[in-house]
Amino acid sequence: MDGGAVSRFVKSLEAERNASKETVRAYLREVRALRDHLVETAGKDPEGTDGWGFVSPAHLRRFLSASLPGRESSSVCRRLSAVRTFFSFLVEVGEVRANPAAGLSAPRRSMRLPEFLPVDEMAGFLSSLPADDPAAKRDAAILELLYSSGLRVGELVSLRMRDVSLDGGTVRVTGKGRKVRVVPVGEKAVRALRDYLSVRPAAQGGDFRSPIDEPLFLNRRGRVGRKSGAGISARSVARMLAEALAGSTGTRRHLSPHGMRHSFATHLLESGADLRAIQEMLGHASLSTTQRYARVDVSHLVGTYEKAHPLAAEKTRGGRGAKGR
């Protein structure tokens, strides 16, 4: 059980910083790992009588160095971010004088192209999904909505009945930092949702003021957490997607729920959608995050360039203009 400082940090994340449940869990996990590391290597428990004031940049460097083997640089960056945020909180409440993580640099993130399915493979995969029983209708609605609206899996499993407007073709999403956005839902996803809702049972086990407060997607037993009121879990969605891909005759590649989101953004970009509009639909705080998708496939841009740019046109006609310059 964590003591006072960590407990107050968690409450601050939830109440003052509007952090999502996933962020709170991730930060708590990293701070607990740091505490265990300090107990083992320094022989002091910062949540005990020793306090966090003895922690130095050297302690944190050793902690991060121990994290490097076998972990992606992005994972180590997240660990440093959590630790830095934690010590910023301790400075604010007067627990420590200065943030020992403030001057530490994160390892350079490796730039990997996002995983996604080409348009024809995605269309074939979604068209092949069975929808002959309530569970299959639910699964089809989940996957259609992930791809149609580019939702994070955490956003999808948090949806309530009241968040979806089938007549309006929109879904109200609560994203990171509890920021709310309204995202369009395509016609095919709307049809899949209608099919699912026609057989969706009432939620069992939760205490809801109204049916519209129930989770949109329930687990196979239709039960929800009595305290959390949650329906299907993100892990179950990932497992269901993996099983659906394994059973698809036209697709033999791995794709995570986040890969469905990547596919949504990539296909919009390839179709000429405005990057700012994609940013708004994805709920990205920074345009630079959305711009990663611009690196995925620029073949359509090259084709447009060669048709429109005068020097490119000369080159494609035999290169005489290029040689004479």
Residues identified as active-site: 152, 176, 258, 261, 284, 293
Do β-strands 180-184 and 164-165 pair in parallel, antiparallel, or remain unpaired? unpaired
φ/ψ of 165, rounded to 5, equals -115, 100
Cα three-residue angle 278-153-131, rounded to 5 degrees: 100
Q: From residue 201, give the alpha-carbon distance in Å to each of 76, 167, 183, 225, 235.
A: 43, 21, 26, 16, 21
Q: How far is Cα 287 from Cα 228, in angstroms, rounded to an integer?
A: 33
Cβ 229 vs Cβ 205: under 8 Å: no
Largest CA distance in the chain: 80
CB-based contacts of 321, cutoff 8 Å, min separation 6: 311, 314, 315
